[in-house]
Amino acid sequence: MLRKMSKAKLILRDGTTFSGDSFGADISSAGEVVFNTSMVGYPESFSDPSYTGQIMVLTYPLIGNYGVGGACKDDDGISKRFESSKIHIKGLIVSEYSEDYNHWDAKKSLGEWLKSEGIPAISGIDTRALTEKIREHGTILGQIVPDNCEKQEFYNPDLDNLVAMVSPKQVKTYERGPKKIICIDCGMKNNILRSFLDRNITVIRVPWNYDFIEAGLDFDGIFLSNGPGDPSMLTELHKIIKKAMELKKPIFGICLGSQIMALASGAKTFKMKFGHRSQNQPCIDTETGRCYITSQNHGFAVDPSSLKKGWKVWLKNANDDTVEGIKHEDLPFFSCQFHPEATPGPTDTQHFFDQFVAML
C-alpha cells in the first residue's frame, strides 16, 4: 500500500504558485527553475554537477518507475551508475511520481534516494503549464516549500562561482598509457573520465583554477570539462587557457569547456532564454552537413559574432541555430556544447574523444 504524501508548493519569483504532493525531503529549497524534456536517465542527470543550483522540472509525465541503482565503483573508485558522488539539483518537479518501481538493478525508489540526500520534490504539478511559462518568460527563480516548512530567500545561482563549489581541491592522476592529458575539472561527469581511461589515456585531473603550466606538469593535451554556472565568472581559468593556447598543444572542450575556450580566445558568451536540457537535440556539423542527435544541459552559449580571426563555428543547433561547437582553423583546438559521453543520451558523437586522442 502506498503511503499518503504530504503537500508542498512550488513558488515562483513572480508569485505564481503550484501545489502538489511532496515525495522528497521535507525541507525548503530555492534555485533557478529549468525544464528537461528527457524521458529517462534521471539518476545520471540528477548527479551531473552541471545542474548545481537548479530546480529541475521533468516534462515526461511518469518519473520513478525504474527506481535507482545501488552504489557501485570500479577499480579507480569511479561510480558505475552515477555521474558524481551526490545529487546536485536543488529540487525536483514532476507530473506523476511512481513509488512502485521495477528494475533488475534498482535498490531503492527515487523518493528514498532524494530523501537520503536532502532534496525536496513535488509531484502532481501541471508540468506542461509550468514549462510553457518558462518558455515564455525564460528561466525563473523559484522555491520548493513543503507544508510546515519556512520559505527561503530566492536564490540566483548565476551570482555565485558554482564551479568553485563542485571542482576538486587536489590534483589526482589516473595512470594508463604513455599519452597524458590535463583534465580541468569544472564539475566533470564521471563518464567523461571513463571515456578517456577506456582509451588508455593517463589523466591528470586538476582543480578549475590550477595553473598546470606554472606547476611545470608534463602533458600532451588539455581537456576542459562541463560544469555549472556563468562561464564569464571564471577569469582565472580564462587566463590559464589563454597561456595554454600559446603552447599549441591539442585542446578539447565539452559544454562549459566550449564556452571557456571561446572566452579565452577573446569571444563572448550569453545567457540563453531557457537553455537546452534534453537528450534529443539535433546538431549540424557545418563541415560535413551531418546531423547528430545529442544530449545537452546548458544555459549559456557562445556568441558567434564575437569569434576572433582564426576561429569558426563548427557545430550548430538545428532547432535555434545557436553555436554547438567551435574550432580553430589552423591549431588543434575544438569543442562541442553538447555531451558526447552521453549518460544519459545517445552516443552519436563518442568519436569526438577518438579525434582528440588522435591529435595527442
Residues noted as catalytic: 255, 339, 341
31 and 128 in contact (C-beta within 8 Å)? no
- 250 preceded by cis ω (within 30°)? no
- For cell 556544447, the residue is 337
Task: Collect all residues with Cβ–Cβ distance below 8 Å to 132 and sequence separation of at least 6.
Answer: none
Please tell me the distance from the alpha carbon of residue 26 to that of residue 273, in angstroms, as a whole number.
31
186 and 167 in contact (C-beta within 8 Å)? yes
96 and 61 in contact (C-beta within 8 Å)? yes
Widest distance between CA atoms in the chain: 65
Helix pair 256-264, 235-245: axis angle to 10 deg: 70
- C-alpha 358: how far from chain center: 26
Name the helix (H) or strand (E) containing 325: strand 323-328
Please tell me the distance from the alpha carbon of residue 202 to that of residue 205, in angstroms, as a whole number.
10
> How does strand 6-12 pair with strand 106-108?
unpaired
Closest CA to 91 of 158, 4, 187, 11: 11
Q: What is the DSSP string of 5-24?
A: PEEEEEEETTS-EEEEEE-S
Name the helix (H) or strand (E) containing 132: helix 127-137
Closest CA to 343 of 296, 300, 281, 301: 296
The dihedral over CA atoms of 277, 282, 284, 288, expressed in degrees to the nearest 10, equals 130
